[in-house]
Structure formats: structure tokens, C-alpha cells
Amino acid sequence: MLDKLQLLKIARTPMPFGKYQGRMLVDLPEEYLLWFHRKGEFPKGELGQLMQLTLELKIDGLDGLIKPLKR
């Protein structure tokens, strides 16, 4: 079950490093998230969990529901 707080965090948390640093997690390209998935190396902790959930939402076509939650 999706947690409302997790959805808000996906919409409002900026990527802290890398090519897409500063971009909100919901705005990360699906290909970028798939790259982490294929490597089996999502970041540790909450960031990695949120990135995995973001990928699942994008695969299911539900990321459009989260974009309105951005500030």
C-alpha cells in the first residue's frame, strides 16, 4: 500500500547527486531509474526506497498522479 508521505517525498525530494542532481525524483527519466535497477545498486536507505517506488509508479503509468503534488 502506498503511503501519502512517500508520494509527497517522491514529488518534492530533489536528486542529491549525479547527472540529474536537483531534479525531483518524480521527474527522473525512467531509463535512469532502470539503470540503477539493472545494476542492482539503488542508493542505500530512504532515497533508494523512494527511487525504487518511483520506478514502479513510472512503469505502471502512475507518475502523472504525483506530479501535481510538487510545490
pLDDT digits (tens, 9 = 90+) for 3-62: 899 999 999 999 999 999 999 999 999 999 999 999 999 999 999 999 999 999 999 999
The confidence band for 2, taking pLDDT boundaries of 50, 70 and 90, is confident
Tell me which residue range forms the domain holding 18: 4-69
- pLDDT reported for residue 70: 86
In total, how many domains does the chain have? 1
- Tell me the one-letter amino acid at 16: P
Evaluated on CA atoms 20, 13, 51, 47, the torsion sign reads positive
- pLDDT reported for residue 39: 96
HEC profile for the chain?
A: CCCHHHHHHHHHCECCCCCCCCCEHHHCCHHHHHHHHHHCCCCCHHHHHHHHHHHHHHHCCCHHHCHHHCC
